[in-house]
Amino acid sequence: MKDNRSFFEKLTGSQKDEAPEEETDIVAAGDSVNGDEEGQLTVDMYQTPTEIIIKSMVAGVKPEDLDVSITRDEVTIKGKRETEKFVKEGDYFHQELYWGTFSRTINLPSEIIPDEAEAIEKHGLLIIRLPKIDKNRQTRLRVKS
């Protein structure tokens, strides 16, 4: 099936105002599921032989406003981007940036070691490094008498 969305629609994840062909459970960024508007963070995720790496743009978010929770098979990133309070709503010509709370839960393709994970933020880019569990690693135990 060919993707006929415009460049902007692909970039933002938005869709044209047409009736969907089939019902889905996908919620776009900023849509409300239960009355709370929360944006969904966009991410890149890839692997190396020893780790899974997740990257996300969090420009304008203070590190103390980010919450990263990790289990052996899942990562949840939550945060809040504060708006400039001195600008009146009627003074905007365009308002396209997302302000407010956001989150993203990512199911990992393989198990990781949560205690050895690290997250750094540099120039608005959040980088999470998750070391993979080496299931082939063996250890010899000494039998005590």
* Domain count within the chain: 1
The reply to whether 3 falls in a domain is no
Does the predicted TM-score (pTM) go above 0.85? no
105: in domain: yes
Residue 85 lies in a domain: yes
With 80 as the cut, is the pLDDT of residue 4 above it?
A: no
Residue 15 domain-assigned (yes or no): no
Residue 91's domain is classified under what CATH number? Answer: 2.60.40.790
Give the tens place of pLDDT for each residue, 101-112.
999 999 999 999
Segments forming the whole domain that contains residue 96: 40-131
Band (125; pLDDT cuts 50, 70, 90): very high
Q: pLDDT tens across 37-83, in order?
A: 778 889 999 999 999 999 999 988 888 889 999 999 999 999 988 87
CA distance 1 to 81: 37
